[in-house]
Structure 1
């Protein structure tokens, strides 16, 4: 992949803002926990009229990639908008949460008792409805049965994560949707990553918390996100890795990269 023909598009308030017309930067994180990820987009020199239309709670989408290969990288709702002057330039920072309800991470439920022999999958579906998170994928390693029933009380997303953990499964939010699945589930598209296909620098090996893997950096790849499968080919290591977390960095002249933490 050659690092030219960069494309970044922000769609908000029924308008598309292209990096061809506006100076923009974006940092878009992704990970495998149930807390909302907050992305930051900076855009320069918007008119006051345009800024008045970019409001909190509005849906925002961001596409990125290279000409001929562009995809959705972010879909969420604006949590905060800040505008400051930097010399003669007006710089607006737009913060976007990867969920429909920016307060979902704080939403609590009163004590609720689920009957004996209730399945974890049923509880997860009920909890997802409460916080209005559409389920994009749910594949439990084990659909745990609560033979004595299950009592739920407290912050909904934390309860959901605990139930998923009982099934030996991760729960995470990505592009405004809930995924309940193992990071190592087979069937995901495999990305072959080497120096010739966009790998930047040398892989950095890590070992912590019972996991082994590599920190990797590549030219921007909009398809890589939580649970993506990487076939890494380097002198240091050749083999399959599973992405646990990372960040996309996008700008007109600076970084246009994807950083990722991938486990064996």
Structure 2
């Protein structure tokens, strides 16, 4: 039976570790299935001026979270800003973190590919321009550009467009690039029910191409973009695939994972 006791959050940055055991910490960690960097916000209370001065822009920041005996990574990113404000007698330091470096400046100009070039070749070259490791690479179809292809502009835009031609998602998660179908991959299956942390009723949604459920659970580090969830709730029992969501944590308030998950 899942419970809300024994919460664990560890923030690691600039060779320092901040544990929820010793610090008041809050955070919001979004994740989704596109190449735009997601921005997380972490708040820590009453850090010393010396400690704050050590947390610098572009430093790597990682967060482990979960419950005692079952903890995993929910964020691996880069500090984008640090700001400390007074709130009454407290000093609250807000750290904003991008889950990848700012990739908007990674651009190419008029790289021309020959007639008959496969999308997989272009994608691997463009990911190389980003300088991020590939975690998974699996195309629904390897589209062939019979008339050739010219790559020009922001690299993330090019990757997104070429992946779309292959009917495939491209996204960044925890500092790695994924090019794959959300509904297919080497993902562990997580069984989610009231007994394993499901909160309330799951709400169905329907869009032009997708049907799915909006789900709330107690914070679960295993759930992120493309996670496979065997959902058991009042109105539905079956498999869904996570498209986007948010981890939210604090010492005494919310400690949960909200997701949108689509049907196979």
Q: Please report the TM-score for the alignment, with normalisation by the length of structure 1.
A: 0.97
- In structure 2, the partner of 1:156 is 155
SS at match of 1:105: coil
CA RMSD of aligned residues (A): 1.0
- 1:36/1:105 contact within 8 Å kept: no
- In structure 2, the partner of 1:15 is 16
**Runs of 5+ consecutive residues of structure 2 not aligned to the other structure:** none
Q: Distance in 2 between matches of 1:95 and 1:59?
A: 12
- In structure 2, the partner of 1:89 is 90
SS at match of 1:128: helix
Q: Distance in 2 between matches of 1:262 and 1:105?
A: 28
Q: Which runs of 4+ in 1 moved over 6 A?
A: none
Deviation at 1:106? 4.0
Q: What does 1:1-264 align with in structure 2 at a 5 Å threshold?
A: 1-99=2-100, 101-102=101-102, 104-264=103-263
Residue deviations 1:126-175, cap 9 Å, x none?
11111212111101111112122110111110110000011110000100
User: What number of residue pairs does the alignment pair up?
Assistant: 262
Q: Distance in 2 between matches of 1:130 and 1:152?
A: 12
Deviation at 1:107? 2.7
- 1:10/1:61 contact within 8 Å kept: yes
Q: Distance in 2 between matches of 1:17 and 1:72?
A: 14
SS at match of 1:9: strand
**Runs of 5+ consecutive residues of structure 1 not aligned to the other structure:** none
Q: Distance in 2 between matches of 1:188 and 1:74?
A: 18
